[in-house]
Structure 1
Amino acid sequence: MAKVQIGNVTLENQVFLAPMAGVTDLPFRLLCREMGTGLVCSEMVSAKAIYYKNKNTESLLEIHEKERPVSLQLFGSDPELMAEMAKRIEERPFSILDINMGCPVPKVVNNGEGSALMKDPLLAGKIISAVAGAIHKPVTVKIRKGFDDSCVNAVEIARIAQESGAAAVAVHGRTREQYYAGQADWDIIARVKAAVSIPVIGNGDVTGPEAAERMLKETGCDAVLIGRAARGNPWIFRRTIHYLDTGELLPSPPIEEVREMMLRHAALLTEYKGEYTAIREMRKHVCWYTAGYPHSARLRERINEMETMQELEAVIRG
């Protein structure tokens, strides 16, 4: 398995956890790290929220030594504010700072943030340059294929990112207009790879070990990001790394291991967020963990009625 060098950070393999709002919190990142992923990435953090000391932001910034190396993802549209907040948090134990220029969510885009920056290459460059110049840690950028079919400019934005001081760029092969629908365009990832000399990380439709291998071969990218396919499936990292190393496809985990992982996940959530929040957040995770299993619909119904860890454990073990 090839290592990946991003600035002064050496990552042990090419299989990374993609940032996902509401999913890649600290407990989930710990589980994925244990399964071997070369890099975990935080949920996106608002530069404005850091500036205004938003009470919910502190938990998003929390990092555990056992999950490192961590990429902390920041979003915003004001170059000066982004640079100032990057500097303010630089002493925290993350290894890489990622700038989000790919989020498709309306409330982010309507503020001129996330994937809206794909429409303003000049501003995108100013943000990257300001942040990269403000801190010593490597700065990376996550972009999309483009904003819509009339604005497919990932290659242009990637070149600007490189010229502005970015140490790597991640490319999701869909436009903002697509959100997560349709097929990801891996050709755009290959075109970005051919256009820049910094590492390129491919994202989109990496659904398992074989898809990861295909993306690496077809695009020439340096690493892959796994996002939605990791929900309820942290084993995807262990299986993908093993497959890339050996060509052997490990079986899916037995149901007993899935049960234990759900309980471990719930225990970690309880430790970091308290029982009330943990049990409610586990409802979506249980849906993902149990998708496709017999009687999973009934299990999900019962989970939605649970209020305590004791009740959750009884249902999962039952």
Structure 2
Amino acid sequence: MLLAPLSGVTDLHMRRIARRCGASAVVSEMVAAAELARGDAESQLRSEGAGVSPHVVQLAGCAPEPMARAARIAVETGADVIDVNMGCPAKTVTGGAAGSALMRDLDNAERLLGAVRGAVEVPVTVKMRLGWDEASFNAAGLAQRAERLGLNAVTVHGRTRQQFYKGNADWAAIRAVVQAVRIPVFANGDVTGPEEARACLAASGAAGVMVGRAAQGRPWLVGQIAAALAGEARPAPSREECADIACEHYEGLIALYGPAMGARHARKHLASYVDHAGPGALATADRTRLLTTADPAAAIELLRKAFLDPDGHVLEPLGEAA
């Protein structure tokens, strides 16, 4: 069970927590190769992996040379695995001929993968979609090229680029990729719990599952799903444990980025933690204050209030993955 790379979400501290909670592996948020190759400070922070093992860095780009250089930099600074992004659907990425736009030009995609494979000795993987649109399901062909180049694994999100995140992920369509190659194929898209993970594995025939958006605000989810698939009885974290995790994550971002930038990076996480704390966990005014305050002490107080009542009493238990 893997935690997917999520831009702006799978920061160092979320990855540390998810790995500690039982995820088999976790992937960094997408790092722009050209920016990392230029020594951009924020790109370096995105690719940071202290305390995470294995440390997987995902790189995005459209040209072989910067991708190769960035891969070498990532490995020199501790990466154990390089993952190549050929699945991001965002216009800011595809507009630069990177991400899932590479699925429209498999020859360029192959050159890019070859450059990364030749630049480093660690395992190299690639994450893709089914294709650019429904008229061009070419993930199997791209996976075959990756295998011939010596890549070690493939992950396929069960949607096309043109779907973005609309509709349902087509897990069955991933089976064509599984059947086309001998290297492991991981399935991604719409897995929110053990039931969905089992259905995804059955439909796709994949070697494993990668969980993405469902883990935001629940970094323990991937480990819960992994335990359930292994037949282990693992209770959901208590509300006190969830509060501790949320506060650890927030404090880590403040330490990593500094108070101002750390607070900005934390907002989407704070909103997700409160959402998963349950309906009415915070009054509207408290929620607004949590998402806008520049005072770390106030944010911590409000996070704990979301999981516990103001007097410190435990609220209703959170649901469990089954």
Letter of the structure 2 residue corresponding to residue 258 of structure 1: C
Partner residue in 2 for 1:9: none
Preserved CA contact (<8 Å) 2:246 2:273 = yes
The gaps in structure 2 that reach 5 residues or longer are 305-309, 311-322
Say whether 1:282 aligns with 2:266.
Answer: yes
Q: TM-score, normalised by structure 1?
A: 0.90
Q: Secondary structure at the match of 2:76?
A: coil
Show the counterpart of 1:60: 46
2:123 maps to what in 1?
Answer: 138
- The residue that corresponds to 1:193 in the other structure is 178
Q: 2:249 aligns with which of 261, 265, 274?
A: 265
Residue 26 of structure 1: which of 1, 8, 12 is its match?
A: 12
CA displacement, residues 33-56 of structure 1 (integer Å, 9 cap, x when unaligned): 111111111111112112322232
1:255 maps to 239
Number of corresponding residues: 302
CA distances 1:242-294 after superposition (whole Å, capped 9, x unpaired): 1111164x454333222222111111112211222233333221221122513
The equivalent residue for 1:215 is: 200
d(CA) in 1 for partners of 2:71, 2:232: 41
Moved more, 112-121 or 204-213: 204-213
Please give the alpha-carbon distance, in whole angstroms, between the structure 2 residues aligned to 1:260 and 1:85: 35
- 1:3 aligns to what? none
Residues 1:247 and 1:219: Cα distance change in structure 2 (over 3 Å): farther
Q: Is the 8 A contact 1:68 1:94 kept in 2?
A: no
Which of 91, 112, 126 is the equivalent residue of 1:127? 112
TM-score after normalising by structure 2: 0.89
Q: CA offsets per residue over residues 140-168 of structure 1, 9 Å max, x none?
A: 01100111112211111111111122111
Shift of 1:90: 2.3
Aligned partner of 1:38 in structure 2 is 24
Aligned residues: CA RMSD: 1.6
Verify the 8 A CA contact 2:271 2:291 in the aligned structure 1.
no
Partner of 1:236: 221
1:304 and 1:85 map into 2 onto residues whose CA distance is 34
Residue pair 2:124, 2:151 contacting (<8 A) in 1 also: yes
Q: Is the 8 A contact 1:158 1:192 kept in 2?
A: yes
Letter in 2 for 1:18: A
Please, which moves more after superposition, 151-160 or 45-54?
45-54
Provide the secondary structure at the position in 1 that maps to 2:40.
coil
Describe the shift of the 1:253–1:89 C-alpha distance in structure 2 as closer, same or farther (beyond 3 A): closer
Superimposed CA distance per residue, residues 89-146 of structure 1 (whole angstroms, 9 cap, x where no aligned partner)? 3222111101100011111101111100000011111111121122111110110011
